[in-house]
């Protein structure tokens, strides 16, 4: 495999299924497939387990005994990092940021934060929601204190300034997906993914291009506008390629970021996202989350509505998980 030389641990149930969605495909008039990375199996599953396999592998190779990470209140990454630490025998401390303007008790206490506490972690808080560098700085300051206490901490950062070991997980996922596509003899018109921190997007796109596959990867923004996100993805790809010892694998035109389903912002619902979540649940019994997969699938539906894809096309949607966050949005069924 492309990532075999990097230290990693096993946290995911892979390969995850690549399934055809017959009911939605019939309704939309386009062949829609779904890569089920909500089924990776670690504490409700999701894309983060693939990323954490490489972060934990790197941490253990450095002799770490405690992890530190940060995320929003309903962070899937935080929930799965706690799970990965528990499974790997590491201690962990987590920081939550007030990133989303939602004070409902369900958002603050159920779903991901409930599971974090169930796994025995009491988070501490960072007051800003749009200060990645500050949130990371707070983690590294805490890590320095832990070092003085004789611990060996490992920080899994939020910002784009650090080596993206987690993106290796989606280089491997791209290789896995292509194997399935070839077995199915499937001619894929486009892959559709959410893009936020950009590790999944950057890794998947890079993996395809390493394997000389030029199928478009269309990414729908969940946190930043398309211009800002494209810059973030390019920076992450550059860092990933440097890590892997590669050059000129991905061209700037390969990075397709769209933001039609982003507003009113990260973690906040809009009509198209609500409709996409309901459609998937009621036709295929698959659950999308409000922050990532719901907005990306809303984007996929938007493209079909605009006539960008038709009856002869095969779209592969990457489901990144996030199911527990649904419990923080009771208005979806009110």
Residue 277 and residue 128 share a domain: no
Q: Which tokens in the block code for residue 38?
A: 């909500």
Checking if the pLDDT of 162 tops 80, the result is yes
Residue 214 and residue 232 share a domain: yes
Domain count for the chain, please give it. Answer: 2
Q: What average pLDDT does the segment 131-149 reach?
A: 96
Q: What is the pLDDT of residues 173-225, one digit of tens each?
A: 999 999 999 999 999 999 999 999 999 999 999 999 999 999 999 999 999 99
- Which of 8, 12, 75, 88 is catalytic? The answer is 75
Residue 275 lies in a domain: yes
Residue ending a domain, choose from 121, 156, 191: 156
- Identify the pLDDT of residue 103: 87
pTM: 0.97
Residue ending a domain, choose from 135, 156, 177: 156
Checking if the pLDDT of 66 tops 80, the result is yes
Measure Cα distances from 313 to 30, 177, 188 in Å.
Answer: 6, 18, 7
Q: What average pLDDT does the segment 82-106 reach?
A: 95
- Identify the pLDDT of residue 137: 95
- Identify the pLDDT of residue 130: 85
What is the phi-psi region of residue 92: left when phi exceeds 0, alpha when psi lies from -120 to 50, beta otherwise? beta
- Identify the pLDDT of residue 1: 85
Residue 43 lies in a domain: yes
- Which residues, in sequence order, are CB contacts of 322 under 8 Å at separation 6+? 38, 46, 76, 288, 289, 290, 291, 292, 293
Q: What is the pLDDT of residues 105-129, one digit of tens each?
A: 999 999 999 999 999 999 999 988 7
* Known active-site residue 8: no
- Identify the pLDDT of residue 264: 97
Residue 9 lies in a domain: no
Q: What is the mean pLDDT of the chain?
A: 97
- Identify the pLDDT of residue 161: 87
- Identify the pLDDT of residue 150: 98
Q: What is the pLDDT of residues 228-285, one digit of tens each?
A: 999 999 999 999 999 999 999 999 999 999 999 999 999 999 999 999 999 999 999 9
Residue 283 burial (C-beta neighbours within 10 Å; 0-12, 13-18, 19+): middle
Residue 61 and residue 29 share a domain: no
Residue ending a domain, choose from 107, 139, 156: 156
- Identify the pLDDT of residue 172: 98
User: Which residue range forms the structural domain that includes residue 325?
Assistant: 18-47+164-333
Residue 190 and residue 87 share a domain: no
Residue 52 and residue 41 share a domain: no
Looking up residue 67, the CATH number of its domain turns out to be: 3.40.50.1100
Residue 10 lies in a domain: no
Residue 197 and residue 104 share a domain: no
Residue 108 and residue 229 share a domain: no
- Identify the pLDDT of residue 128: 83
Q: What is the pLDDT of residues 47-56, one digit of tens each?
A: 999 999 999 9
Question: pLDDT-based confidence at 89, cuts 50/70/90?
Answer: very high
Residue 174 and residue 138 share a domain: no
């Amino acid at each position: 495999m492309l990532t075999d030389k990097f230290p990693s641990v096993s946290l995911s149930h892979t390969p995850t299924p690549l399934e055809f969605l017959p009911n939605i495909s019939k309704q939309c008039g386009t062949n829609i497939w779904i890569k089920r990375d909500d089924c990776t199996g670690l504490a409700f599953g999701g894309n983060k387990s693939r990323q954490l396999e490489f972060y934990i592998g790197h941490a253990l190779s450095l002799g770490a005994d405690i992890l530190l990470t940060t995320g929003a209140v309903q962070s899937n990454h935080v929930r799965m990092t706690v799970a990965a630490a528990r499974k790997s025998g590491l201690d962990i401390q987590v920081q939550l940021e007030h990133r989303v303007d939602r004070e409902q008790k369900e958002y603050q206490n159920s779903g991901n934060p409930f599971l974090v506490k169930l796994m025995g972690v009491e988070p501490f808080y960072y007051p800003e929601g749009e200060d990645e560098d500050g949130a990371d700085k707070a983690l590294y300051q805490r890590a320095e204190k832990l070092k003085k206490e004789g611990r060996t901490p490992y920080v899994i950062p939020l910002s784009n300034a650090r080596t993206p070991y987690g993106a290796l997980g989606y280089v491997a996922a791209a290789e896995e997906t292509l194997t399935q596509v070839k077995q199915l003899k499937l001619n894929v018109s486009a892959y559709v993914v959410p893009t936020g921190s950009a590790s999944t997007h950057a890794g998947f796109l890079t993996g395809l291009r390493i394997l000389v596959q030029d199928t478009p990867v269309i990414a729908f923004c969940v946190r930043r506008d398309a211009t800002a996100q494209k810059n973030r993805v390019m920076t992450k790809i550059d860092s990933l390629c440097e890590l892997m010892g590669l050059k000129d694998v991905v061209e700037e035109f390969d990075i397709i970021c769209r933001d039609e389903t982003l507003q009113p912002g990260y973690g906040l619902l809009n009509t198209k996202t609500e409709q996409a979540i309901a459609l998937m649940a009621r036709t295929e019994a698959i659950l999308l989350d409000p922050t990532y997969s719901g907005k990306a699938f809303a984007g996929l539906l938007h493209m079909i509505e605009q006539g960008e894809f038709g009856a002869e096309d095969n779209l592969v949607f990457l489901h990144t998980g996030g199911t527990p966050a649904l419990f923080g949005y009771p208005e979806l069924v009110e």
